[in-house]
Amino acid sequence: MSDIAKLQIGESTYEFPLVKGSENETAIDIKTLRGATGGVVTIDPGFKNTGSCQSAITFLDGEKGILRYRGYSIEELAEKADFLEVAYLLIFGELPTKEQLDKFYNDILDNAIVDDDIKKIIDAFPKNAHPMGILSSLTSALTAFNPSSVNVDSDEEMYNAIVKIMGKFPVLVAWTMRKKTGMPLHYGSRKLGYVENILTMMFQKPNDEYDINPILLNALDKLLILHADHEQNCSTSTVRVVGSSHAGLFPSLSAGISALWGPLHGGANQAVLEMLEAIKADGGDTKKYMGKAKDKADPFRLMGFGHRVYKNFDPRARIIKKAADEVLGDLGVEDPVLDIAKGLEKEALSDQYFVDRKLYPNVDFYSGIIYRAMGIPVEMFTVMFALGRLPGWIAQWREMRLRKEPIGRPRQVYTGANERSFVKLEDR
């Protein structure tokens, strides 16, 4: 194949170089398009055909159902690594040595204390506030308490901002949940591992010890790894675009959390469980809901199905489905909602509508069932997604800054009124 793309507009032909990725993906580099053509732009709503950057962090092949972080398969990482190692790998590019990991974790712990005044902000939220709104606000508020994290002009300043947020974010997540469950805020312990601390900060009662259940620890570690990055999805692109204006790391992350909140993105894990509950309450008739999902006059969609990039099984969904079986089995939980989920999946996989559109279960289809078995309230599910996605967002933000990417500022095709004269209020 030639390494040039030719574009013909009217009588003129323009040439653009092709860019090749390390897995042989091909892109047309149109950086010179406007200049060469005198103002022509491309239009691609939802960026379905647009690469926004070159990135060395995550590779995914939606047709084949492949997901790799820094070259390592998600299956191998979920089985052999822990979340902190994966976070280090994503952010810094290589698996850490024992010394590197110990230093990283010590630096995180040294920066885990959240200013006590943040508690006043938490107090100001109504108890029924959605945890994603609280988390996004608190993450942004951190900037006010850590102004040095805004300007990150040296490697050292960037590293400091990273260990600060890796330390403080789990505290904010746990406090967000404790606000919901009415428990006093908790700091965990330096003696615990990263994910052990998360569980302890979330669940320890003020009048009791908290024994970490290894099944829950393993399940949470796996869930966090599976959610840790997914290249240029909606929230990650948001983090990169906000960060491209040189807003600091924390407000960029806060914007990413807001993007993740939507039910078409991370909010789907909450929406899936609510959908499964509604089907159960309606007598468990999965066929009725399959019919609704296929009816174009009905806005209902089968939540947890379909993906912008995967046109094959989401590899994360396979791992999570197995983990859901294990966790529920090990904990001795019988959840009728799991049976409804399995029933829906079976029907959808053999239904022509879903087959034709290549709609498969995505990462969110089974994760909520595990979170619920762990005792996490439904409204916290997307917060748990954010906790897992944190290292991915950081890695993508860091890469964007290190590559000195220009400010994100797309063009448009204007379709509004042509120039017209202003009409005074009394004459309208």
- Of the two residues 251 and 304, which places its CB atom closer to ligand ACO in the complex? 304
Buried/exposed code over 90-105 (b: 16+ C-beta within 10 A; e: otherwise): bbbeeebeeeebeebb
Q: Is there binding between residue 319 and ligand ACO (CB under 6 A)?
A: no
Stretch that binds ligand ACO, among 67-75, 108-116, 250-258, 264-272 (CB under 6 A): 264-272
Phi, psi of 214 (to 5 degrees): -60, -25
Contact residue for ligand ACO among 104, 203, 289, 305 (CB under 6 A): 305
The minimum distance between CB 369 and ligand ACO, in angstroms, equals 14
CA distance readout (Å), 15 to 10, 21, 392: 14, 20, 35
Q: Is there binding between residue 304 and ligand ACO (CB under 6 A)?
A: yes
Strand 66-69 relative to strand 58-61, pairing: antiparallel
Quick check: 268 and 304 in contact, CB under 8 A? Answer: yes
Q: How far is it, in rounded angstroms, from Cα 402 to Cα 150?
A: 15
Stretch that binds ligand ACO, among 1-9, 111-119, 196-204, 265-273 (CB under 6 A): 265-273
Residue 273 tokens, joined: 């469980």
268: nearest Cα among 295, 322, 230: 230
- Of the two residues 170 and 392, which places its CB atom closer to ligand ACO in the complex? 392
Binding flags for ligand ACO, 267-286, as an x/- string (CB under 6 A): -x------------------
- Assess whether 227 carries a catalytic annotation: no
Q: How far is it, in rounded angstroms, from Cα 390 to Cα 405?
A: 21
Q: Which residues does 321 contact at the CB level (< 8 Å), separation at least 6?
A: 361, 365, 366
Q: Among residue numbers 340 through 359, which ones bind ligand ACO (CB under 6 A)?
A: 357, 359
Stretch that binds ligand ACO, among 165-173, 182-190, 300-308, 368-376 (CB under 6 A): 300-308
Stretch that binds ligand ACO, among 250-258, 297-305, 325-333, 418-426 (CB under 6 A): 297-305
- Phi-psi domain of 340 (left: phi exceeds 0; alpha: psi -120 through 50; beta: other): alpha
- Of the two residues 188 and 388, which places its CB atom closer to ligand ACO in the complex? 388
The minimum distance between CB 264 and ligand ACO, in angstroms, equals 4
Stretch that binds ligand ACO, among 6-14, 70-78, 172-180, 263-271 (CB under 6 A): 263-271
Catalytic residue selected from 307, 314, 330, 335: 307
The minimum distance between CB 235 and ligand ACO, in angstroms, equals 8
Contact residue for ligand ACO among 133, 185, 301, 330 (CB under 6 A): 301
Stretch that binds ligand ACO, among 105-113, 201-209, 260-268, 331-339 (CB under 6 A): 260-268
Contact residue for ligand ACO among 40, 113, 264, 355 (CB under 6 A): 264
For every residue of 7-41, DSSP letters joined together read EEETTEEEEEEEEE-TT--EEE--TTHHHHHTS--
- Assess whether 265 carries a catalytic annotation: no
Contact residue for ligand ACO among 115, 187, 308, 349 (CB under 6 A): 308
Residue 341 tokens, joined: 């989920």
Q: Among residue numbers 62 through 81, which ones bind ligand ACO (CB under 6 A)?
A: none
Q: Is there binding between residue 388 and ligand ACO (CB under 6 A)?
A: no
At how many degrees (to 10) do helices 83-92 and 214-227 cross? Answer: 20
State the distance between the two ends of the chain, measured CA to CA, in whole angstroms.
Answer: 61
Q: Is there binding between residue 266 and ligand ACO (CB under 6 A)?
A: yes
Tokens 């209902």, residue located: 300
3-class secondary-structure state, position 101 = helix
Residue facing ligand ACO at closest CB distance = 306
Tokens 């491309």, residue located: 42
Sheet of 26-28, strands arranged across = 4-9, 12-20, 26-28
Q: Which residues does 402 contact at the CB level (< 8 Å), separation at least 6?
A: none
The minimum distance between CB 345 and ligand ACO, in angstroms, equals 12
| Number of shown-chain residues binding ligand ACO (CB under 6 A) | 18
**For residue 383, how far is the Cα from the chain centroid?**
10
- Of the two residues 164 and 321, which places its CB atom closer to ligand ACO in the complex? 321
The minimum distance between CB 289 and ligand ACO, in angstroms, equals 10
- Of the two residues 29 and 47, which places its CB atom closer to ligand ACO in the complex? 47
Q: Which residues of this protein are in contact with ligand ACO, per CB under 6 A?
A: 264-266, 268, 293, 301-308, 357, 359, 362-364
Report, as residue numbers or ranges, the catalytic residues.
307, 364
